[in-house]
Amino acid sequence: MRFSRALGLALCLSGYGAMSHAADVAGSQDFANLPRPSDSEIVDYRPAAELERIFPMGSIRKISGQLRFESQVSSRGTATSVTYELAPERSADEAFTAAREALQKQNAQLLFWCQARDCGESSLWANEVFGNSRLYGADSGQAYLLLRLAAPSNDTLVALYSITRGNRRAYLHVEQFQASAPLGEVLPTSATLLRELKTSGDLDLPMLNGAPAEPWITLLSRGLNLDSTLRVTLSGPQSEVWREALTAKGVRAARLEAGNKETQGLIIELIR
């Protein structure tokens, strides 16, 4: 009797595990490099398809029937996307942050990051960029991030978009794009560098292991000058030369202090 009860309980639990994702769209699957949001369901899945893709890197708006944004990454390649509906007790910000942090731990590079009304109109992101009306919600409840995976997968982009709809349902959309040709150099925006610094507390830039050069001097100086109250430390083999270059670009010298972290490239750390 005791054995039969134990067997019955085990079968029940195994059945629950098998049913926990039963509401997922048929044939859908998670990305191997991203954790699935807790207790979420896949409500939209688009398997790998070859297409020409444009990823905005700026606030989007529509003028004379055309989408407008400051810059973009465009390429032909293969795109796959998954849209998760989050559990009622989970927030869009929570799922977005977990996905971002997971990719940053894999040394993915942040290219463009916006939140709320800084992104532009949610309806344009939903319908024009991602072609998924389910992602339309309040402009104040959205976030978008474009990342580039680390080598040897550095020709792969990942786009994250989270939204909370008017009915309080929250979604996380993930699109992974494998370019069919090398992407070449793709630079982050200055505002994204600042947002990453303020959120994570540091900017780890291992590629900046030589003497300061454009366009990075301009990108970093503009980012730091977007918030003139911030003070940072600079570490790395060329940190003092970088300090001089940033000062020459208009960053007050009093905001830039010498750091002591041993690293092959430049690291900028926020003084809290």
- Going along the chain from its start, the domains and CATH numbers come out as 25-179 (no CATH), 190-270 (3.30.1330.60)
pLDDT of residue 124: 96
Beta strands in the chain, from DSSP E residues, in sequence order = 41-56, 61-63, 66-68, 72-85, 109-115, 142-148, 156-164, 170-179, 202-205, 232-235, 256-258, 266-270
Q: How far is CA 62 from CA 59, 66, 73, 75, 123, in A?
A: 10, 5, 18, 22, 11
Q: Tell which residue, 210, 211, 258, has the closest CA to residue 235.
A: 258
pLDDT of residue 20: 43
One digit per residue, the tens of pLDDT, for the chain of length 272 reads 433 444 343 333 333 333 346 589 999 999 999 999 999 999 999 999 999 999 999 999 999 888 899 899 999 999 999 999 999 999 999 999 999 999 999 999 999 999 999 999 999 999 999 999 999 999 999 999 999 999 999 999 999 999 999 889 999 999 999 999 999 999 999 999 999 999 999 999 999 999 999 999 999 999 999 999 999 999 999 999 999 999 999 999 999 999 998 888 999 999 98
- Tell me if residue 158 falls in helix, strand or coil: strand
Q: How far is CA 40 from CA 20, 29, 126, 220, 238, in A?
A: 9, 12, 20, 38, 46
Please name the residues in contact with 195: beta carbons below 8 A apart, sequence gap of 6 or more: 113, 115
CA distance 43 to 5: 36
**Amino acid letter, 224:** L
Q: How far apart are the first and last CA of the chain?
A: 63
pLDDT of residue 166: 85
